[in-house]
Amino acid sequence: MIEPDIAGIAGTLGAAADTATAVPQLAAQTGLDVDAAYAVQAALVQRRLDRGERLVGLKMGLTSKAKMAQVGVGEVIWGRLTDVMRVADGGTVDVARFIHPRAEPEVAFLLDRLPEPGEPVGDFTDAVRAVAPAIELIDSRYANFTFSLPDVIADNTSAAAFVVGSWSPVPDGLDNLGVLLEIDGRVAQVGSTAAILGDPRRALDEGIRLAGRHGVRLREGWVFLAGAATAAVPLRPGAHVRAVVEKLGTASLRALS
């Protein structure tokens, strides 16, 4: 069996993102399994850090059935967020930088003191300082937004950009808050935070556990995206996108026309 070329694959995916040009799926041809795919992800994000970006958080993917069904991959995954991916709430995004961006409504946590990997989050309000509604922009670097599990992991779980709304103290219940995604004032997706592993707090346990397997420890001050509560919606130039999460408020962005 030939060892996959981790640096070479990261270079291909990095160039695809930099030039907004889709590439064919590559995991099957290169013998990439899940562990090797996380190694590619680390190398791909390292390219960004080498040019001055900073790691600012972690994102979960495919924590809801709606998302799993949309992309045909049935496993929870995680990826890395950098400062350059963050867009100010109400800010503008140049969609020409992306291949086929989609927007999805999320719940964000601002991390506080974190337990060691393997240790469950005992008291959630000790581990999380604040909660906010968020929008994630995903942009698979693969043609037709189609990929296998190792492909999407290698591609940093399609991470492209994210917006976080105003932070609130952690409310009593997070497990059944209504979620809306609006495009130009029209409701495009409706869901509930219950769709996120039954309770988005569970996504944090999973993130600590899954990232810990690859030697990644979550840090105080990081943003943690728990995963989309609904399917993602294509982001067209000129569109105004707003996510509304009951009790938490809204996050919004505009795509440049």
Give the interface with ligand OOG as residue ranges (CB under 6 A).
Answer: 59, 61-62, 67, 71, 104, 136, 138, 140, 152, 157-158, 227-228
CB of 227 to ligand OOG, least distance (A): 4
The CA distance from 250 to 177, in Å, is 13
> Using CB distances below 5 to 8 A depending on partner kind, what does residue 182 bind out of ligand OOG, Mg ion, none?
none
**Residue 153 interaction partner, one of Mg ion, ligand OOG, none, beta carbon < 5-8 Å per kind:** none
Q: If contact means CB under 5 to 8 A according to the sort of partner, which of ligand OOG, Mg ion, none does residue 40 touch?
A: none
Residue 115 or 164 having the CB closest to ligand OOG = 164
State yes or no: residue 139 binds Mg ion (CB under 5 A).
Answer: no
Helices vs. strands in the chain: H and E counts, helices first: 7, 13
**Rounded (10°) CA dihedral 183, 188, 189, 190:** 100
For ligand OOG, the closer of residues 125 and 144 by Cβ is 144
CB of 135 to Mg ion, least distance (A): 9
By beta carbon distance, the residue nearest ligand OOG is: 61
Per CB under 5 A, the list member of 17, 127, 177, 228 interacting with Mg ion is 228
Give dist(CA 55, CA 81) in Å, integer. 6
Residue 140 binding partner per list ligand OOG, Mg ion, none, with a CB distance cut-off of 5 to 8 Å that depends on partner kind: ligand OOG
CA distances from 183 to 5, 172, 195, 229 (A): 41, 29, 21, 16
Query: Could you tell me the smallest distance in angstroms from the CB atom of residue 254 to ligand OOG?
Result: 21
Among 136, 139, 155, 182, binds Mg ion (CB under 5 A): 136
Strand pairing report for 91-93 and 249-255: parallel
Nearest to 198 by CA among 76, 57, 73: 76
Of residues 23, 18, 40, 5, the one with CA closest to residue 154: 40
Tell me how far apart the alpha carbons of residues 213 and 104 are, in angstroms, rounded to a whole number: 27
Residue 165 binding partner per list ligand OOG, Mg ion, none, with a CB distance cut-off of 5 to 8 Å that depends on partner kind: none
73: helix, coil or strand?
coil
- How far is Cα 243 from Cα 66, in angstroms, rounded to an integer? 16
Tokens standing for 222?
Answer: 């990081």
Nearest to Mg ion of 107, 228 (CB atom): 228
Nearer to Mg ion by Cβ, of 43 and 60: the residue is 60
Question: Given the rule CB under 5 A, which of 114-122, 129-137, 172-180, 200-208 is the region that contacts Mg ion?
Answer: 129-137
- List residues near Mg ion by CB under 5 A: 136, 228
